[in-house]
Amino acid sequence: MARAHWGCCPWLVLLCACAWGHPKPADLGGQDVRNCSTNPPYLPVTVVNTTVSLTALRQQMQTQNLSAYIIPDTDAHMNEYIGQHDERRAWITGFTGSAGTAVVTMKKAAVWTDSRYWTQAERQMDCNWELHKEVGTTPIVTWLLTEIPAGGCVGFDPFLLSIDTWESYNLALQGSNRQLVSITTNLVDLVWGSERPPVPNQPIYALQEAFTGSTWQEKVSGVRSQMQKHQKAPTAVLLSALEETAWLFNLRASDIPYNPFFYSYTLLTVSSIRLFANKSRFSSETLSYLNSSCTGPMCVQIEDYSQVRDSIQAYALGDVRIWIGTSYTMYGIYEVIPKEKLVTDTYSPVMMTKAVKNSKEQALLKASHVRDAVAVIRYLVWLEKNVPKGTVDEFSGAELVDKFRGEEQFSSGPSFETISASGLNAALAHYSPTKELNRKLSSDEMYLLDSGGQYWDGTTDITRTVHWGTPSAFQKEAYTRVLIGNIDLSRLIFPAATSGRMVEAFARRALWDAGLNYGHGTGHGIGNFLCVHEWPVGFQSNNIAMAKGMFTSIEPGYYKDGEFGIRLEDVALVVEAKTKYPGSYLTFEVVSFVPYDRNLIDVSLLSPEHLQYLNRYYQTIREKVGPELQRRQLLEEFKWLQQHTEPLAARAPDTASWASVLVVSTLAILGWSL
């Protein structure tokens, strides 16, 4: 899990925010918030003065004859993490939270955001801005209808609204005599001017062949073959998500945080390949790798990123059918394609193909997880020694685990902002420490670490929760129930093509049994040096059915407000299951290789099957990570690993069970009387 959960793309963040049981505003170190009802208003030092930029924006709106202008929190590719130059909503409002929509009229300005961010918004926004504690398009439109006159126009940047979001605005405004107006020039950018951070321009590079599952030519042929088989015979596939283009061509860059992508689109037709990106960013080797100087069906023509809308519009004039993935294509592309020329699916064939890793990709992802385990184990060993000294805090800890990962081969930085949370902070939904605001780690508290790395061969994501002192009975029980949930789902055997949604409750049953639960999802897909939250694999209702070769995280948790938080997250490969009777069945093979905390396991809650599973898993960890630690001369870590993967022994359960029944029988047979 990471700050913006469960989606490589933020279109799902909201779902997650709502699913979390009791979202809490991040602790901003006190309640020093604005008070706009006094005269003059009280404004904390954290507030940004937006009067000048709002005036300038309203001038732009007047030029366009707009009564209102919508400023969403998205970029043009529905990225989960967006670049600074795309943080338009943050810049115009002062409010930097990752979720929230702003709307400006000629007289008013307002922000809609969810409860995680209410305090933050009150600390960052000046009194030009109303704060609306609601989400979704409905309250925005309700407000618009009272604020702008009949006949008024509501402007928006069509590259910042997904098709779905546009449709919901459009539907809500229908018959209201207010009109949605698509304006391709972003008005905030005009006002932002030279202050706007530059669009990234680092080199775009090809992955070494050792780190790719197939060549880009093989991938292109595969997609074309899917186009041919499709009953609507699309003539082209349009790729809008950055991960699609990165995956298809085995290209990477670092345009956005945590994800090794570059701004791009691809229009892959039956006879051509058109890659929209800044050509100057490719080296001559990369251009040659892409066959960019020829014009045949296996030559990549590079066109300027800014040309994509016009080029699609021109292409759509022909006798064509363009296949798009509707969940992440923006309205700015969608509106230039006539409806009858669209072939729509929720996810493009690239997204669907990418979801299933071939055997080489599987091996690469597994290998990255072995090295990742080394980094995490080094950190856990270090913590065990240093936490009792009282010198470690959440932030320095996060820095250290990031450093250890950075020392691993093929490392390319963290895959999301490390969640390093001690005590009560671990119960907060979206907590990450900062240099200024963090908590000391202590032997008296539980500590939750949710972190991951980007490596050339794979992306990782793992959560472990530890306690170095004496956990309470309730902490042990909750931890063990979370662990049982992780095990029950991991060892589940289920029919091929079962949807994750149908089975995720197995990760919750042991908690439910005692009246406990967690308010977030149970897992997400993960990529090969791609998104750490890779769609469309996972356990939510909008995820696709499970298939052999997919990777997903499995991450039940439990959070006690104001006290502690537990999450145990592993990445698992979907593999064929061998069943007693023949059939097409699947199960999971866990590829995260860090032992759980023995100090927190109440063995009496585990069934023989749980113990058997756990001990087999520990054996696998020894086999995979042990040799790697030895090879690296990490002998202290090796010793720690051996200790922490000692087989767990059965302990008598409290409740009547087979055990007591059989002991009684055995004694009875032996002629003993009790």
- Cβ closest to a second copy, residue 173 vs residue 503: 503
Classify strands 273-276 and 300-303 as parallel, antiparallel or unpaired: parallel
Comparison of 85 and 501: residue with beta carbon closer to a second copy = 501
Rounded to 5 degrees, φ, ψ at 269 are -105, 175
Binding of a second copy at residue 580 (CB under 8 A)? yes
Closest approach of Cβ 79 to a second copy, in Å?
30
Q: Does 314 bind a second copy (CB under 8 A)?
A: no
| Minimum CB distance to a second copy, residue 613 (Å) | 13
Q: Is residue 197 close enough to count as binding a second copy by CB under 8 A? A: no
Least spacing, CB of residue 667 vs a second copy, in Å: 7
Q: Which is nearer to a second copy, 229 or 580 (CB)?
A: 580
Among 321-329, 355-363, 575-583, 614-622, which window interacts with a second copy (CB under 8 A)? 575-583
Minimum distance between the CB of residue 608 and a second copy, rounded to whole angstroms? 4
Closest CA to 303 of 274, 281, 280, 282: 274
C-alpha to C-alpha distance for 535 and 646, rounded to whole angstroms: 36
Q: How many residues bind a second copy (CB under 8 A)?
A: 46
Site string for a second copy, 316-345 (x = CB under 8 A): ------------------------x-----
Residues from 334 through 393 that contact a second copy (CB under 8 A): 340
Closest CA to 222 of 247, 240, 205: 247
Of 668, 426, 418, nearest to 562 by C-alpha is 426
Give the number of other Cβ atoms within 10 Å of residue 626's Cβ.
16
User: Which has the closest alpha carbon to 9: 121, 114, 112, 162?
Assistant: 162
Task: Show the binding pattern over residues 506-545: x = contacts a second copy (CB under 8 A), - = does not.
Answer: x--x--xxxxxx-----------------------x----
Strand partners, 454: 459
494: contact with a second copy by CB under 8 A: yes
Minimum distance of a second copy from residue 584's CB (angstroms):
9
Of 85, 279, 501, 548, which lies in the binding site for a second copy, with binding defined by CB under 8 A?
501
How far is Cα 495 from Cα 585, in angstroms, rounded to an integer? 4
Task: Return the number of the residue (500 or 595) whose C-beta is nearest a second copy.
Answer: 500
Nearer to a second copy, 306 or 658 (CB): 658
Collapsed DSSP state (helix, strand, coil) of residue 8: coil
Between 52 and 674, name the residue whose CB sits nearer to a second copy: 674
Pairing of strands 129-132, 109-112: parallel
Q: In this structure, how many other beta carbons lie within 10 angstroms of the beta carbon of residue 292?
A: 18
Among 56, 356, 505, 575, binds a second copy (CB under 8 A): 505
Q: Which of residues 632-671 bind a second copy (CB under 8 A)?
A: 650, 652-653, 655-663, 666-667, 670
- Exposed, middle or buried: residue 345 (CB in 10 Å: 0-12, 13-18, 19+)? middle
d(CA 241, CA 8): 10
Q: How far apart are CA 402 and CA 3, in angstroms?
A: 16
Structure tokens at 178: 């207010």
Closest CA to 458 of 392, 361, 555: 361
Pairing mode, strands 534-538 and 524-525 = antiparallel
Q: For residue 81, is it left (φ>0), alpha (ψ between -120 and 50) or beta? A: beta
Among 659, 641, 558, which residue's Cα sits nearest to residue 598? 641
Binding a second copy (rule: CB under 8 A), the pick from 209, 581, 654, 671 is 581
Choice between 286 and 498, CB closer to a second copy: 498
* Residue of 582, 633, 671, 673 that binds a second copy (CB under 8 A): 582
Task: Please report, in angstroms and rounded to a whole number, the separation of the first and last CA atoms in the chain.
Answer: 52
**Which C-beta is closer to a second copy: that of 102 or that of 482?**
482
**In terms of CB distance, is 174 or 194 closer to a second copy?**
174
Cα–Cα distance, 43 to 128 (Å, whole number): 11
Phi, psi of 625 (to 5 degrees): -95, -30
By C-beta, is 181 or 648 nearer to a second copy?
648
To a second copy, the closest distance from the beta carbon of 406 in angstroms equals 40
Taking the C-alpha atoms of residue 461 and residue 552, their distance in angstroms, rounded to an integer, is 10
Q: Which is nearer to a second copy, 108 or 501 (CB)?
A: 501
**Cβ atoms < 10 Å from Cβ of 41:** 12
Contacts of 281 (CB under 8 A, 6+ apart): 201, 202, 203, 204, 253, 262
Nearer CB in complex with a second copy: 341/632: 341
What is the closest distance, in whole angstroms, from the C-beta atom of residue 276 to a second copy in the complex?
30
Q: Which stretch binds a second copy (CB under 8 A): 3-11, 212-220, 253-261, 501-509?
A: 501-509
Which one of 95-103, 299-307, 572-580, 620-628 is the stretch in contact with a second copy (CB under 8 A)? Answer: 572-580
For residue 506, the minimal CB distance to a second copy (Å) is 7
The distance of closest approach from Cβ of residue 336 to a second copy in the complex, given in angstroms and rounded to an integer, is 19
Alpha carbons 141 and 555: distance in angstroms, whole number: 37
Report the half-sphere exposure of 341 (CA within 13 A, side-chain side).
21
Judged by CB, which is closer to a second copy: 212, or 522? 522
- By CB under 8 A, which span of 22-30, 458-466, 488-496, 529-537 interacts with a second copy? 488-496
Nearest to 572 by CA among 585, 586, 556, 588: 588
CA distances from 14 to 4, 384, 462 (A): 9, 37, 22
Nearer to a second copy, 579 or 643 (CB): 579
Q: Tell which one of 585, 599, 603, 624 touches a second copy (CB under 8 A).
A: 585
Q: Cβ closer to a second copy: 117 or 588?
A: 588
Contact track, a second copy, 394-413, x by CB under 8 A: --------------------
**Closer to a second copy at the Cβ: 45 or 670?**
670
Taking alpha carbons only, the member of 646, 618, 649, 566 closest to residue 373 is 618
Q: Are 102 and 13 in contact (CB under 8 A)?
A: no
User: Which DSSP category does 423 fall into?
Assistant: G
Does 145 participate in binding a second copy (rule CB under 8 A)? no
Contacting a second copy within 172-191 (CB under 8 A): 175
Among 450, 504, 597, 637, binds a second copy (CB under 8 A): 504
Distance, in Å, from the CA atom of 293 to the CA atom of 291, rounded to the nearest integer, reads 6
Which residues here bind a second copy, judged by CB under 8 A?
A: 175, 340, 492-495, 498, 501-506, 509, 512-517, 541, 577, 579-583, 585, 607-608, 612, 650, 652-653, 655-663, 666-667, 670
